[in-house]
Each structure stands twice: as structure tokens, then as C-alpha cells.
Amino acid sequence: MKKTLTRSKTYDGDLTKMDRRLTRQTTLASFGHPPEFDYKRDAKHLVKILKQCVTAHILDLDSILHFLSTYNCEQRMLIVQNLEYEYNYNLVDMVLERPESPIRSCVLAMLTEPIELYVRHFHDLLTLKLTGKIDGDITRLLIEILLGLSNMDIEKFQESYKNLFENSIDKDIEIVLGEKNLLSKLIIHLLKGKRYEESGNSPSIAKMIAKNFHDVTSDVTTIDDNTIIDIFTCDSFSQLSTIFDIYEDKYGEPIQEAIQRQFHNQIEIECFDDIIEFTRSPSGYYSKSLRQALEKYPIDYMTLIRFIIGHVDKDLDEIKLEYLKNYDEPLDVTIKTRLDNMEIKRTFILIITKEEDITANIGGPVRFDNSNNSSSIGSGLNRMTTKKTSTTTPPTTPPPSTTASNKSYGFDSREDVPTDTDHAWNAIEIDGHWYLMESTWGAGNLTDEKLFQRQLDTYYFFPRPNEMIYHHLPENDKWQLLRIPIQMKQYLQMPKINPIYFQLDLNLISPYNQAFIDLLPRKSYALVLIRAPSDVQLMASLKLHEKDIEGGHQVEFDTKRQLYRCYFAPNTIGKYKITIFGKRDNTDEVKYSAAVELILDVQQKNKKSN
């Protein structure tokens, strides 16, 4: 099977793996695109990235994925088309020049429409099987790609395959799987797009087919393989569901029992079982496939990409709900804890959670928000920032600050709503995108003696808005830079979370997004659950009136659920401060840093249960 791709522009030079990244790129969210979409402006910005890549002879796939991640499919297609017609960049071909990798596959998926994505994955599976790079069977994956396509989608699928690879898809299937193979016939029949799509079904025909299935024994076959293939590929899904229900109601056994009697090859049985499962619950079938892809070693990125990017405008919401119901865990939580590629992980979570995520965009003209100026320490540092950026577009006035209440030193989440603002920071516009800058906290911190100590912390230069909100609440909601702003009441309930929490990729499971925890019912202790990557170590402390409680806490790692269980046992009533500390194993850093602070307010001790 020959793979041929039309290339209108190839990428020049031997591209090697990028060894330099934009500063803090892995800890930043995606580019925040303004509500008004301008594909010409945004294509121009992407050109800047590509020109830098050409100069460096390195196609920075991470940066490209980073840029594309918050556009929807239609917007991405407009940008890609404008990129080719106006600037003569065929980005798809440029990406295809890169060696195969998960990040390459993810970027390619963002550059193509869903049908083309399915086609490319279908062809890739055939190619990998033909070249011996896949040892196992691929038929179940091929069927999974086709099951959710309508007849019109199948027609587009066939056309796209022909245009991309200049070959007959039927011939390619027969070359790889065998010409007379039953599963080849099943897949080719699915590709004919002959399924009845009108609503309604025929109970009388369903009863007859159910009886034929039941009459099959190990020696007698009352229904031949070709007929079964026709039923499974041409009958409407509602008719198939009726057949299965009638069979099970009348004969008191799962329809899968009949399939096992009809076929003796395990792969054949599993393929027909998959169609049965899809017929009854497409989202359940897909959520199971997602889970299997996540549990494979190495992780099956191809399947994850196909579902999360390829189904986002189709049925991803239903798949997410089914996943939560079946596995008692949100899909984004599983993605966050199991994926090791930071950029793919961030993109998947952004798509799944539908968050608006804003990040730094290096270079370009800078404009500051014209709100009120401040005489705080932040203003002095802000003027220094102005000088650094004035070489591009000098602001006409000193950069104003966004004044607001914030959880700075001594902030108590249980106190009443602050009446005065106590701090200032900046909102900055770069090439039409808004970012935050906290120059005061980025310049240093206070010592225990309340003295300012200079120590650069780059986290606070363009921090993620959805992270910044844990300790900075602006007076004006719009400067939260969040799709759905939070209110003061909600802000006061949120835990105190430090940057190291996000840098270590921690996930506070319980209490969920709350600063307060209670003793467990009928127990004399409280429990905090926190998920962490395998290379992160956690420890904790329990304090009352700033004094450590000896023997008051215990931290255990639950290997089965891959999370830390942190137990806290107060010895009297009072308001306790819980702190979770963390550090990475693979660093020379010996010091643990405070990641999360919580409050345990014990007003009455529980009696110990027996």
C-alpha cells in the first residue's frame, strides 16, 4: 500500500527536536483569543511563529499547538486556509514532515476537520499494521472510527481517503486484513454507507431475526455470515436495538451469547459485541474506549486525540457524562493525572472543560489598561516594565494598575468582606490579547520579620487568570479575565493556593475548591485527598496559633487510586491551619514548598467511633 500525499509546500531543512522552549511555556495556559474573531489578524500572528521556526530550522509543534488550542474547528480551518493562500504556508505538510510523535498527531488533528482526522487515523492504522509496527489486531479500532458516521459522513470519508492517498480504501483494507476475511467484509460494508437512517422499526422482522439468532447451535447455522453483516451494517440502530431487546426478553440470555455461538474467532466476536455496545449506548461505548486508551502502556494517544479533538463538536459532552458515571471520576481529572506530555494534557483539559485560558504571547505591541493609577510599590515596578516594552509601542501614560483585594500576607478567608483595596497589579494588552502582570509579588516577598526581600519569581509575569484568581480578586470583574467571573462570596471560600501547586500539577480532590474542612462524621480526624504526579512528594503540617501539633498529621499514598491521603487529628477545639507541602523527586531541591493552605475549625470534638 503506497502512501502518497500532495504537498503544496514542504518544510525546509532537517528539523530536530526542539531543545529550547519559551520561558515557562509548560506552566502557561493557551493564548487567550479575544471574543471578536479575526482570522486574518490571527493568521498573521501564526506567521510570526512560523517565521521564527524557519529561522531556527525547528518547527516548534508545542508553540503551534499552544496557539491553536482555544480556537474552535471552524476558526482553525479559516486560519489555516488564509495561511496557505495569503502567505504560502501549507502548515499540514510542514507538520507531516516531522517524525511521528503524539505532539505531531495532536497538532495535525487541530489542523484538519474531523472527517479528515478519522481518515488519516484509519490510514495510519492500516499502514502501521502492514509495516509490522502494530502487533495486535486493528479491526476493532477501524470499526470504532466508522460506527459513529452517518451515510453522508461515510461518503465524505471515502472521498477524502481517495483525495489524500490516491488509492481505493477497499483495496487497502483487503491488502492488510485479507481479501476473503469476514472482518474485511464487515468494514467494507460499513464503508458503503447503506444504513437505514429513518426513525421507526419493524417488530415482526426483529422477532424473526431474533429467532434465527437463537436457533444457531455449534452444529447448525440458521443465519449465514453475510446476512449477519447486512443486518449489522444496514439496519437502523433503533431496529438493531429492537432485535437485541426481543432476543433477550424472549430467550433470557444476552444477545452476545448468540454471537459467540455464531462465530468462533475471538476478534470476530469482539467486533460484533462492539457494534452491540455502540447500538445501546454510543457514549458508553466511547467512554469505555477512552478509558482503555488511557490504561494502555504506552498511552494510546491516537485514540485520545480522535475522541477529544474529533468529537468536541459532536458528542464529547455525552461521552464525558458517561465517563463520570462509569468510572466515578471526571475525564479531565484522569487526563490530568495520567498524561505525561504537558502541552497535549493542557490542550485536552482546555477542550474538555471548555475553559477560557489566557497566556503570554511573547513580543508585539503593548498597551496597558487605562484604569486608576496607584502609588503603591507596584506602580514603581510597573514604570520599569514600561521602559522595557517601550521599544515597540510606548504607552502615552504610565501603566495603570488594577486595584483590588487579594489574599496577600495575613489574609484570613474567614474574615468579613474587605472594604478597602490593599494591593495593585496590571492588566496588559499584547496584540489584542489581555494578560496579567503582578510585578510586586514577582519582585520578591516578605520575610518572617515583615521585611521585603528581593527574589525574582517569573510565575507572576503573565500568570494564568484561572490560577491568579485564587489570591487576587480585582474590583472590576472584567479584569479577572475569566469567562465566568467569580464573586467575593465565592472568593472568600476558596483555598489559599500557591504557584507551586500548579507547577507540581497537583489536584485537590477533597475538599473541592473549598478552604474549609471538617472532621469526618463520628471520627476525631479530618481527611484531605490530593492527587499528584508520580514524581511529586507531599508532606503536611497542622498548626494551632502558629504552633505545630506534634503527631497531629499523617500522610499516606494510595497506590490504587494514585492519590495522597492526608489525615489531621486536632487535640482540642480551635481554628487550625493545614498546609500541604510538595516537591519533585527528580530535582536537587531538598526544600518542600507550601502548595495549599486550608482551615480546620473545630468547635466541638467528635466522639471516637468503635
Rounded (10°) angle between helices 182-190 and 225-234:
30
Decide if pLDDT at 455 tops 60: yes
Least confident piece of the model among 165-179, 370-384, 512-526? 370-384
Higher-pLDDT residue of 272 and 459 is: 272
Confidence of residue 432 (pLDDT cuts 50, 70, 90): confident
Decide if pLDDT at 268 tops 70: yes
Average pLDDT over residues 109-134: 95
DSSP state of 220: -
Q: What is the CATH number of domain 499-602?
A: 2.60.40.10
Q: 489584542: which residue's cell?
A: 432
Least confident piece of the model among 46-55, 390-399, 403-412, 589-598? 390-399
Which pLDDT value is given to residue 420?
59
Decide if pLDDT at 390 tops 80: no
Residues 523, 609 contacting (CB under 8 angstroms): yes
Which pLDDT value is given to residue 119?
97
Which pLDDT value is given to residue 418?
58
Q: Measured between alpha carbons, how far is residue 25 from residues 57, 361, 463, 593 in Å?
A: 20, 10, 11, 21
| Model pLDDT for residues 22-64, shown as the tens digit of each residue | 222 333 333 344 446 888 889 999 999 999 888 888 899 998 9
Confidence of residue 444 (pLDDT cuts 50, 70, 90): confident
Q: Highest mean pLDDT: which of 274-278, 476-480, 551-555?
A: 274-278
Which pLDDT value is given to residue 305?
97
If we measure between CA atoms, which residue out of 488, 453, 451, 455 comes closest to residue 469? 488
Whole-angstrom Cα distance, residue 399 to residue 396?
9
pTM: 0.57
Which pLDDT value is given to residue 477?
83
Least confident piece of the model among 165-174, 262-271, 362-371, 578-587? 362-371
Least confident piece of the model among 309-318, 400-409, 489-498, 511-520? 400-409
Q: Measured between alpha carbons, how far is residue 607 from residues 217, 516, 518, 523, 599 in Å?
A: 64, 21, 14, 7, 21
Q: Highest mean pLDDT: which of 33-37, 223-227, 395-399, 429-433?
A: 223-227
Q: Which stretch of DSSP H or E encloses residue 405?
A: strand 402-406
Which pLDDT value is given to residue 467?
85
Which pLDDT value is given to residue 473?
85
Higher-pLDDT residue of 384 and 233 is: 233
CA 253 to chain centre: 39
Least confident piece of the model among 78-82, 170-174, 417-421, 483-487? 417-421
CATH class name, domain 195-280: mainly alpha
Which pLDDT value is given to residue 419?
55
Whole-angstrom Cα distance, residue 500 to residue 490?
22
Whole-angstrom Cα distance, residue 50 to residue 60?
8
On the question of a common fold for 195-280 and 499-602, the answer reads no
- Residue ranges of alpha helices (H) inside 281-398 are 282-295, 301-308, 316-327, 331-338, 342-353, 377-389
Decide if pLDDT at 363 tops 50: no
Chain mean pLDDT for the chain: 80
Which pLDDT value is given to residue 286?
96
Domain parsing of the chain, residue ranges: 195-280, 366-494, 499-602
| Model pLDDT for residues 545-569, shown as the tens digit of each residue | 889 998 899 999 887 667 899 999 9
